[in-house]
């Protein structure tokens, strides 16, 4: 029996069990479409404040900076953005569950003030495999996203005895906000089969994740959220079931609304949207915009509007995450000079835009925002 058939069988068995237990089912196409019709055109960024290197530093009590978030969300509102994709972490729950929930509520109050509905990400298979609570190390000079951490970490992923904690985290967070209309939705797992090729990665990481991913969706559904669930597909061919990986099959079969990542040229982006339209569900692009790779606001955002695809680019304010450096900075850090072209991000840390033309385009296409864009400085064009 092939790997993809096993994946579909696992999803089918899970759905059967849910029905018998009276657990909330995956949304129908009609329910998903009805939800999407009620949304404005969704445009935003993947968000971590400029003064946080990763999701741990963003959310821990000692470094949670409501004032910075409020300031940056003001800039987002000013150019017409109305959503942000925001990463959480399981260790934050184990560290201080009541405080974590309180800070999420504070964050949501700030977001609502600026008419922004966040999409929260629960798990993430990208970057460093050994997350550690407490003070985070400073950014590595010239390196893209040098402090980002996975959730769960490698040790937890390999140890099934930690899975009850992961369930408690998922259900604790979603349970606290399951009926909260300030939240757009729940992104269960970011790029679950991203291997990173790091020395500390489990050798059977993808297999472990494929076994855990349907459970994570189940844990979420058991809390009966009114918001949709998703997990973004990001690699491979989605044009036919025979060409999809086992992980992709699980993601597409479990998601109430379809989400995907694409950092390619406009032709590639448009082709991927066409492939996903066959699922007859709302489509959210939850990662795009890598200028050096051919994905830009100028060329991609108009396609998203034309195709009614929600658009969430990577990076908002250039800060400690350093995602204005290209991916290849992991192999060759840009220590002596910054990149000629910013890879990600929209604003400098002082609120001036990297490119005034991009700010004007976002403002124009969204048709929203009441604040004039800040003047271009620092050589921006």
What residues pair up with 312 in beta bridges, in sequence order?
A: 44
| Position 56 pLDDT exceeds 60 | yes
In the predicted model, is pLDDT for residue 375 greater than 60?
no
Buried/exposed 117-146: b ≥16 CB within 10 Å, e otherwise: bbbbbbbbbbbbbebeeeebeebbebbbbb
Determine the pLDDT at residue 199: 72
233 — phi, psi (to 5°)?
-75, 150
Question: Based on the number of CB atoms within 10 Å of its own CB, is 17 exposed (0-12), middle (13-18) or buried (19 or more)?
Answer: exposed
Residue 177 has pLDDT above 90, yes or no: yes
**Average per-residue pLDDT in the chain?**
93
- pLDDT at 257 exceeding the cut of 80: yes
Share of the chain above pLDDT 70, in %: 91
Residue 4's pLDDT is 44
Highest mean pLDDT among 1-5, 15-19, 185-189, 369-373: 185-189
Domain ranges of the chain: 3-7+33-351
pLDDT > 80? residue 125: yes
What are the CB-based long-range contacts (under 8 Å, 24+) for 173-176? 173/88, 173/93, 173/100, 173/101, 173/104, 173/120, 173/122, 174/219, 174/220, 174/223, 174/225, 175/223, 176/101, 176/104
- What are the pLDDT digits (tens) for 260-278? 999 999 999 999 999 999 9
- pLDDT category at 21 given cuts 50, 70, 90 is low
- Model pTM? 0.92
Q: In what helix (H) or strand (E) does residue 285 lie, and over which residues does it extend?
A: strand 283-287
- Confidence at residue 23, expressed as pLDDT on a 0 to 100 scale: 81
pLDDT 10s digits, 70-123: 999 999 999 999 999 999 999 999 999 999 999 999 999 999 999 999 999 999
Residue 355 has pLDDT above 80, yes or no: yes
Phi/psi at 310 (5° precision): -65, 140
Angle at 48 between CA 338 and CA 53, to 5 degrees: 60
289 within 8 A of 344, measured Cβ to Cβ: yes
The top-level CATH class assigned to 3-7+33-351 is alpha beta
* Percent of the chain's residues with pLDDT above 90: 86
pLDDT in tens, 41-53: 999 999 999 999 9
Q: Give dist(CA 235, CA 193) in Å, integer.
A: 9
Q: What would you measure as the largest C-alpha separation in the chain, in angstroms?
A: 62
pLDDT tens-digit readout, 186-222? 999 999 999 887 778 999 999 999 999 999 999 999 9
Contact by Cβ (8 Å): 64, 58: yes
For the cut 70, the answer to whether the pLDDT of residue 164 exceeds it is yes
């Amino acid at each position: 029996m092939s790997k993809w058939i096993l994946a579909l069988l696992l999803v089918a068995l899970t759905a059967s069990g849910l029905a018998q237990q009276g657990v909330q089912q995956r949304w129908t196409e009609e329910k998903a479409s009805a939800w999407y019709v009620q949304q404005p055109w969704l445009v935003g960024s993947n968000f971590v404040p400029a003064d946080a290197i990763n999701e741990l530093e963003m959310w821990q009590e000692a470094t949670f900076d409501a004032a910075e978030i409020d300031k940056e969300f003001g800039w987002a509102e000013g150019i017409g953005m109305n959503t942000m994709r925001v990463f959480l972490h399981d260790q934050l729950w184990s560290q201080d569950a009541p405080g974590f929930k309180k800070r999420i509520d504070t964050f949501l109050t700030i977001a609502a003030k600026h008419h922004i509905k966040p999409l929260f990400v629960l798990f993430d298979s990208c970057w460093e495999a050994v997350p550690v609570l407490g003070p985070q190390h400073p950014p590595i000079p010239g390196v893209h996203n040098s402090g980002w951490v996975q959730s769960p970490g490698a040790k937890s992923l390999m140890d099934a005895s930690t899975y009850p904690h992961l369930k408690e985290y998922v259900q604790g967070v979603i349970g606290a906000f399951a009926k909260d209309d300030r939240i757009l939705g729940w992104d269960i797992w970011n790029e679950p089969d991203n291997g990173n090729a790091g020395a500390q990665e489990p050798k059977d990481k993808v297999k472990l994740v494929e076994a855990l991913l349907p459970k994570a969706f189940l844990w979420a559904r058991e809390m009966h959220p009114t918001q949709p669930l998703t997990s973004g597909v990001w690699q491979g061919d989605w044009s036919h079931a025979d060409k999809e990986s086992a992980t992709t099959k699980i993601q597409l079969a479990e998601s109430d609304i379809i989400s995907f990542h694409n950092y390619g040229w406009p032709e590639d982006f448009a082709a991927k949207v066409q492939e996903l339209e066959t699922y007859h569900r709302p489509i959210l692009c939850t990662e795009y915009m890598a200028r050096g790779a051919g994905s830009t606001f100028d060329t991609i955002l108009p396609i998203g509007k034309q195709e009614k695809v929600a658009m969430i680019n990577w990076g908002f304010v250039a800060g400690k995450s350093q995602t204005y450096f290209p991916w290849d900075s992991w192999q060759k850090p840009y220590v002596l000079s910054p990149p000629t072209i910013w890879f990600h991000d929209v604003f400098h840390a002082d609120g001036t835009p990297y490119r005034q033309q991009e700010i004007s385009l976002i403002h124009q296409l969204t048709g929203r925002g009441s604040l004039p864009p800040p003047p271009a400085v620092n050589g921006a064009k």
